[in-house]
Structure 1
Amino acid sequence: MAYRLTRSSRWERLALSAGGMSGRRRGAASKRDASMALGQWLASSGIPQHQLYHVLPGVAEAFRRGYARGARQSIPAPLLPPLNGRASVIVSACNEAGSIPMVLRELKRLPFHEIIVVENGSHDHTYAAARAFEGVTVIHIPELLGHDVARALGAKMSTGDIVLFMDGDMPVPAEKLSSYLVAADRGVDVALNDIMPLLPEFGRQDEVTRCKTFLNRMLGRDDLEANSLTAVPHAMTRQALESIGYANLSVPPRAQTLAIRQGLRIEAVQTVDVLSVNRRRKTNRGKDNPVAKLIIGDHIEALGDTMKNLGGRLQWGQVSRTELALRRNSL
């Protein structure tokens, strides 16, 4: 399926024109040539840094179409600027025989150094479905680990400079996934899924969302709002993974807390709708469902650990009780 452009986007219009001119200059060219041309154009495009990764899928696709038209030759999608490091992807999967092929087909469109599927606790043909893809490493574990532990295991076994994390039940267009790879390759230690555009106003948000916002705010990262390592897709640099510790990835709020405390560069770089497409299961439906309780418990654990190290008021240690109450009530 072709990636749909936003016709009203100024940056996409500029990219389409720039791609056309670049393609005409170079004539017959490869995808690698187009990728290098895109990287050069992005460096001088004037796209604000805080917007770059959000607009990148549309801008890159517009540039690709313009380049192909100018060079009068086919350039396969998606188009990414050159990556400096090697990229790995970890896919956690349990009973995903129906969806894992779609997930892997999109991942195979990207320049991954390795694709690792951590298949655990399945009772269907997930293992066979993943093994059917050439070049995909499948780690088979009979016991159910859960997504978080599976991601931690996969990260430990991966070898890339950048690691993208996915779930086996959520196919995501390769164009959107490219934002996470490019962001991590360009210095973002932890590249998060920006779920804020998908959420209702605060009064209608659920307890899990409020826990995410509260933890970020207590750690002085109000700008992250409810964005969290609890949501996929997200990407991390190898340096960040080693700094946080692979074992800590099994509790995403703890990993996020450590990333913030260590001063790592954390940004929400792209919006992927994982809320409406999240597979409905008995464990994640209804109020106080087991998944919600687990996530809330993880946040309480992360907050408790941090308070032991930084004190009960965290970064608000010097704030008066009156001011602390005012800030608390504004949440």
Structure 2
Amino acid sequence: MNGVPNGKKGPKEPAKGRKVAKNGRISDVDKLENQDRLSIIIGVEQDEDTIVKVLKQAEKLCPLEIVVVVHGSHDRSLEHVLAYSASPVLRVFAYPYALGEDVWRAIGAREAAGDVWLFLGAEQIVAAQQLQLFVRSCYRGTDIALRQAHAFPASEKIGQDPVELAKCFLNNLLERSELGSSSMGDLPFAMTREAAASIGAHHLFVPAVAQAIALQKELRVTPVRTAKERVSAKAAKAEQARDSTSALTDLGDHLEALSLWQAQAKDK
């Protein structure tokens, strides 16, 4: 796989592609390519209020398949997924116990048949034309397309959020400072099957480690600018609760990534 030197940006999104997204449409060319190449992987837990809307947006991309991993759900999320009969490309994998924050990604990747994978969280509704930006970036040479992190206001100190600081530190350490706090820990993001094979698909359950390996191998990792999604008060409250419980896990993941970097640096 061809790479680009660390510190170099990946391919830019062509103006034509941006115009299509701005107009709220996905081109027929994109849809045809999606039908042959795209696997959408969705992690679902307590998401009964949003999962159907997420599936509808995913279906608009006309993908090869939609792989849904439901785990540890105590509400009606699984019932809503199984009742969703609009898509013949839906594949459902259900686990009665919680898999953890990111293990579902590795499970979905193991089952995916496409050569481009788009990872989504069922708690966040992202418009189909915004999702297509990640996919199109992979079609045009990117190995991993990350959501561009929103810039911090000048008055806000990034140090106030240790997880964001850890993301920035990891990217800086691996000479990709222009990525800011863009991270494989944040959804949505897309990647190619070849990139996953290079990283090791089993590493996807620890996003920080997967990103560290990708950057060390000089894969094309590109931030994708998207419109800021509207989030309901209920969804925002749920997201805040998730953030508070996963912050320590995220920091631990970044420590594991740093440990990996140190070990490999010593071997050189």
With normalisation by structure 1, the TM-score equals 0.69
How does 1:96-245 map onto structure 2 within 5 Å? 96-134=47-85, 135=88, 136-197=90-151, 199-201=152-154, 203-205=156-158, 206-245=161-200
Q: Which 4+ residue blocks in structure 1 deviate beyond 6 angstroms?
A: none
Gaps of 5+ in 1: 1-48, 65-76, 315-331
Identity level (%) = 32
Aligned to 2:8: none
Cα RMSD of the aligned pairs, angstroms, is 2.5
| 1:103–1:170 contact (8 Å) kept in structure 2 | yes
Give the Cα separation in 1 of the matches to 2:145 and 2:257.
20
1:241 Cα offset (Å): 0.9
> What is the aligned partner in structure 2 of residue 248 from structure 1?
203
Give the structure with higher Rg (CA): 1
Distance 1:126 1:284, change over 3 A: closer
| 8 Å Cα contact 2:54-2:124 kept in structure 1 | yes
Structure 1 residues 140-166: Cα deviation after superposition (integer angstroms, max 9, x where no partner): 001101241011110111010100000
For residues 80 and 297 of structure 1, the distance between their equivalents in structure 2, rounded to whole angstroms, comes to 43
The aligned amino acid for 2:81 is A
| Counterpart selection for 1:267 from 216, 222, 232 | 222
1:260-302 deviation per Cα after TM superposition (whole angstroms, max 9, x unaligned): 11111000023254695664347436xxx33111111111110
Whether the aligned pair in 2 keeps the contact of 1:92 and 1:147 (CA below 8 Å) is no
Of 199-208 and 223-232, the range deviating more from structure 2: 199-208
Q: Give the gaps of 5 or more residues in structure 2.
A: 1-10
* Partner amino acid, structure 1, of 2:100: G
Task: Give, in whole Å, the separation in 2 of the partners of 1:128 and 1:194.
Answer: 33
Find the aligned partners of 2:38 and 2:263 in 1 and give their Cα distance.
36
In structure 2, relative to structure 1, the CA distance for the partners of 1:275 and 1:174 (3 Å cut) is closer
* Cross-structure match for 2:237: 280
- The aligned residue for residue 29 of structure 1 is none
| Matches of 1:183 and 1:80, distance apart in 2 | 16
Q: In the alignment, which residue of structure 1 is the partner of 2:6?
A: none
- Asked whether the equivalents of residues 169 and 279 of structure 1 are also in contact (C-alpha less than 8 Å), the reply is no
Q: Under a length normalisation based on structure 2, what TM-score does the superposition of the two structures give?
A: 0.84
For 1:31-68, what per-residue CA distance to the aligned partner results, in whole angstroms no more than 9, with x for missing partners?
xxxxxxxxxxxxxxxxxx53538x73543554x8xxxx
Kept after mapping to 2: 8 A contact 1:229/1:253: yes
8 Å contact from structure 1 (residues 148, 249) kept in 2: yes
Larger relative contact order (Cα-Cα within 8 Å, sequence gap ≥ 6): 2
CA gap 1:78/1:59 in 2 versus in 1, 3 angstroms: closer
